Amino acid sequence: MHLTRKRGFIWPGLAVAVALLAASCTPKPPPTSAPAAPAPTPPAAAPTKAPAAAPATPTRPPATPAPAPAVKLPAVISIATAGVGTTSYIAASAFSEVIAKYLPTKIAVEPAGATSRWVPLMKTGEIDMAIGCGLSDTKDAWYGKFYWADKGGPFPVMHVAVGQVQPYGFMVTDPKIKTVADLKGKKVYAFIKGIRIHETAIAAMFKVAGLKTGDVDLLTFSDINEAAKGLQEGKAAGIFYITSALPLVEVDRGKPLYGIPVPREMADKVREEVPEFGYMTWTKGDGIGKEDIPYLSNPCAMYARQGVDADAVHAVVSTIYAHYDEYKDKHPILKFWTPQQGVSIFAMPVHPGAIRFYKEKGLWTDEKEKLQQKLLALPRG
């Protein structure tokens, strides 16, 4: 009985299962409405989606303002300086480290020496930029005046930025020499070819001191290293130069150098002849300073060859100033290299790439633009 009941329950269940299986395996007729449903929708959808796809076409990049194409820089940008160990060389070396870190170009620092050496190399395209301490001389080179008149001038050297302003004047190895007049009968390193400020400033100082031509044996030197060696060997009693040049610091360690004070009357006379010179107190401990004395001051600046692409100059200047904190403490003179200082004074036209930077920083005023146009209008050659 129990078996019969179980079978009675099994067979109806099997019948149901078979029926369900048959139903699932039986092919279903295709729906009659499937072809008709998609037919009306494609025409309506096509026009609405087309505008959304348009921005992805190749015409989009020119229509959008960002990102701007990268500036193509030369593989190497050469920067001339005075001799190794000078403040211009120190500044250029510090800047070259910044440029190498942040720009796809290399800075080649060329310790070419005096202005008379590297300015002609700008005309031949061998030097792109430079750092030097003689605004009057580079101005003369741009306009092709004085020393540069018969050297192939005018030359394509344009202003980029003013950097450090340094004590500049007579230093002597004999502490008994207290005044400019005391230089009478002495040999002094004074002249570098192409640097008119030495000749002009010294002549003005001698006039106030009552000295005549020939009273002092003024020696010509090619670069500061030559003069420093001469001072160590006793070939001269002094020099007219920047006080913080490393070769002079080295001389001072073995043979102390003393600055000769510059009275106000003398400084005013110098500035009449060379407006780029300033007047300051050279303080004790500043470089080789032994005491606080009144002294002349002279700005050092960066220059660029007129033919250097404006994008390249702009990239170099922008990158240097953007990383001021990375170089300002490497040497005392580097703290002066700020954007505000950069355009504080210029004696020849400013390079267009530098002007673009100063405009971006809000430092290019109407007065500076008027001076720029005035300097551009002056005759050259």
In this predicted structure, what is the pLDDT of residue 70?
64
What is the CB neighbour count within 10 angstroms for residue 106?
A: 14
Q: How confident is the model at residue 195 (pLDDT cuts 50, 70, 90)?
A: confident
Q: How confident is the model at residue 223 (pLDDT cuts 50, 70, 90)?
A: confident
* 158 burial via Cβ count (<10 Å: 0-12, 13-18, 19+): buried
* 367 burial via Cβ count (<10 Å: 0-12, 13-18, 19+): exposed
Q: How confident is the model at residue 193 (pLDDT cuts 50, 70, 90)?
A: confident
Between 303 and 82, the higher pLDDT residue: 303
Supply φ then ψ for residue 324, to 5 degrees: -55, -40
Distances (CA, A) of 370 to 232, 314, 331, 349, 376: 48, 21, 35, 11, 10
pLDDT tens by residue, 88-136: 999 999 999 999 999 999 999 999 988 989 999 999 999 999 999 888 8
Q: How confident is the model at residue 43 (pLDDT cuts 50, 70, 90)?
A: very low
In 3D, which of 243, 307, 264 has the Cα closest to residue 87? 243
Beta strand 129-132 pairing with 76-81: parallel
The pLDDT of 38-67, averaged and rounded, is 37
Q: How confident is the model at residue 21 (pLDDT cuts 50, 70, 90)?
A: very low
In this predicted structure, what is the pLDDT of residue 63?
38
Any idea where the domains of the chain sit in the sequence? 76-377
Which homologous superfamily does the CATH classification assign to the domain defined by 76-377?
Answer: Periplasmic binding protein-like II (3.40.190.10)
Asked if residues 206 and 215 have their Cβ atoms less than 8 Å apart, the reply is yes
Q: How confident is the model at residue 52 (pLDDT cuts 50, 70, 90)?
A: very low
pLDDT at residue 323 tops 90: yes
Question: Which tokens sit at 321?
Answer: 């100033």
pLDDT tens by residue, 225-284: 999 999 999 999 999 998 988 899 999 999 999 999 999 999 999 999 888 899 999 999
In this predicted structure, what is the pLDDT of residue 81?
96
Residues 225, 245: Cα–Cα separation, whole Å: 10
Q: What is the mean pLDDT of the chain?
A: 84
Residues composing the chain: 381
In this predicted structure, what is the pLDDT of residue 48?
39
